[in-house]
Amino acid sequence: MDMNSFFNDLQGKINQAIESSPAKDIEKNVKSMMTQGFSKLDLVTREEFDIQAQVLAKTRAKLEALEQRVTELEERLVPTKPQV
């Protein structure tokens, strides 16, 4: 679903909710329509995003440590050339 059709559909639903609802139900209906519309976009919550950011940071730190360890091991394996 492209963004224009998504927002057009959402706008139509909001307009319909406003026209057919008493004032006190408008907020409830609009929230419901927005939640329904956003669920189609494959969005993640802020909490899910923060958790994935933490996982990525830990993974990056482990990768950097492993890269350093590999470099150290490679340096040990390279025979030193005798100086003449």
Instruction: State whether 36 and 12 are in the same domain.
Output: yes
Instruction: State whether 11 and 36 are in the same domain.
Output: yes
Whole-angstrom CA distances from 72 to 60, 68, 76, 78 are 18, 6, 6, 10
Report pLDDT digits (tens) over 9-35.
Answer: 877 877 777 777 676 677 777 777 778
CB-based contacts of 19, cutoff 8 Å, min separation 6? none
Rg (CA), the chain: 28
Grade residue 80 by pLDDT with cuts at 50, 70 and 90. low
Instruction: State whether 28 and 65 are in the same domain.
Output: no
Report pLDDT digits (tens) over 26-73.
Answer: 777 777 777 887 778 878 889 999 999 999 999 999 999 999 999 999
84 vs 36 pLDDT, higher one: 36
Question: pTM of the predicted model, to two decimals?
Answer: 0.49
CA–CA dist 61, 58 (Å, integer): 5
Question: Is residue 10 within 8 Å of residue 34, measured between CB atoms?
Answer: yes
Residue 84 included in any domain: no
Which structural domain range is residue 31 located in?
1-43
pLDDT value, residue 83 = 62
